[in-house]
Amino acid sequence: MTEKEMIKVSIEEFSRLQNYMLASEKDSNGYKLMKDRYIELKVILTAFGINLTDIDKIKE
């Protein structure tokens, strides 16, 4: 997988995950598990130099 493909997949997953998080209760186990992946994706995208300001809906 090329770097551009990895970035594309990560952004798509980040967006999809945030939608699931917004539809979930913050105190649920599922939300807590999703938050772990949310943080991982933020680190990955930041390492790629992606500015998350406009695409981060959760802002935690």
- This prediction has a pTM of 0.90
**What is d(CA 55, CA 52) in angstroms, rounded to the nearest whole number?**
5
Sign (positive or negative) of CA dihedral 35, 37, 42, 47: positive
| Listed residue (58, 22, 19) closest to 39, CA to CA | 58
Q: Report the SS3 class of residue 48.
A: coil
What string of pLDDT tens digits covers the 60 residues of the chain?
999 999 999 999 999 999 999 999 999 999 999 999 999 999 999 999 999 999 999 987
